[in-house]
Amino acid sequence: MNALEVNQLSVSIDGKRILNEFSLSLPKGEVHAIMGPNGTGKSTLAKALAGHESYMVESGTATMDGKNILDLEVDEISREGLFLAFQYPIEIPGVTIANFIRAALNARQPEGEDIDAVAYYKELYAQMERLGIDKKFTSRSVNEGFSGGEKKRCEILQMAMLKPAYCILDETDSGLDIDALKIVADGVNHMRSEDRGILVITHYQRLLNYIVPDRVHILWDGRIVKSGDKSLALEVEERGYDWIKERLTAGVES
């Protein structure tokens, strides 16, 4: 029950099937990593779970702590506790980071009640400091003109402020220099908790040296074809994906 459970989920875009009876169980308290070649459906999984309307769910289920999320609206899924750190964060001209995160927090308050502004800024500044984001960013427009690394840090900032039950980090490590990678990993590790499940999508084993996963899954053609512990990531790093592909075509089950 205390898990993000995806069962036999098939998702298509424009009639093209991307996720193919995909299943995954992410219990609270654990960190899982998903790796896989370009275009195999990692971001599709993230966006479909977040409720993006372009992604057609054809069959299967997805529940969070037992609650079906496939019928919910995008904003409802978020308020239920799912957070998606975007692979490509969106620029919102004219909306400041401070107002944006505040609106997201207010959306979680009872109708007509707003969060306390003083406490809000106190926490915002503290989290920004932890993530090495300059205070000046609060009054900048969301992601507008941010460097790649700044955008990724800002995703983690939002996650830290919203404290979701389940987090999906879609290539949060790409575009980060080594110092930023450590800071972001530190930010994620700080959020590891018994009450939270974290799914890290990445291409690089390097990240997993800093965020050590409980499980590693390999996604191929819209489904998980191999799972293992953190050593699986090392193996992928060394041997690439071809050996998995070869084993798959040879009909060997993992």
164 binds ligand ATP (CB under 6 A): no
13 binds other proteins (CB under 8 A): no
H or E stretch covering 45: helix 42-50
Q: How far is the CB of 187 from other proteins (least distance, A)?
A: 17
Instruction: Determine the Cα–Cα distance for residues 239 and 235; give it in Å rounded to an integer.
Output: 6
Q: How far is the CB of 145 from Mg ion (least distance, A)?
A: 23
Instruction: Determine the Cα–Cα distance for residues 176 and 182; give it in Å rounded to an integer.
Output: 9
Among 7, 37, 57, 100, binds other proteins (CB under 8 A): 100
| Residues numbered 35-64 forming contacts with ligand ATP, rule: CB under 6 A | 36, 38-44, 54
Torsion of CA 137, 133, 189, 88, to 10 degrees: 50
Instruction: Determine the Cα–Cα distance for residues 245 and 239; give it in Å rounded to an integer.
Output: 11
- Which lies closer to ligand ATP via its Cβ, residue 36 or residue 51? 36
Torsion of CA 160, 164, 170, 176, to 10 degrees: 10
Residue 194: C-alpha distances to residues 15, 69, 82, 190, 234 (Å) = 39, 21, 16, 12, 26
57 binds other proteins (CB under 8 A): no
38 binds, among Mg ion, other proteins, ligand ATP, none (CB under 5 to 8 A by kind): ligand ATP
| String marking each residue 70-99 x if it binds Mg ion according to CB under 5 A | -----------------x------------
Taking residue 37's Cβ as centre, other Cβ atoms within 10 Å add up to: 16
Q: Footprint of ligand ATP on this chain (CB under 6 A)?
A: 13-14, 18, 36, 38-44, 54, 87
Q: Footprint of Mg ion on this chain (CB under 5 A)?
A: 42-43, 87
Q: Footprint of other proteins on this chain (CB under 8 A)?
A: 50-52, 73-75, 77-79, 84, 86, 89-95, 99-101, 103-104, 107-108, 141-142, 158, 162
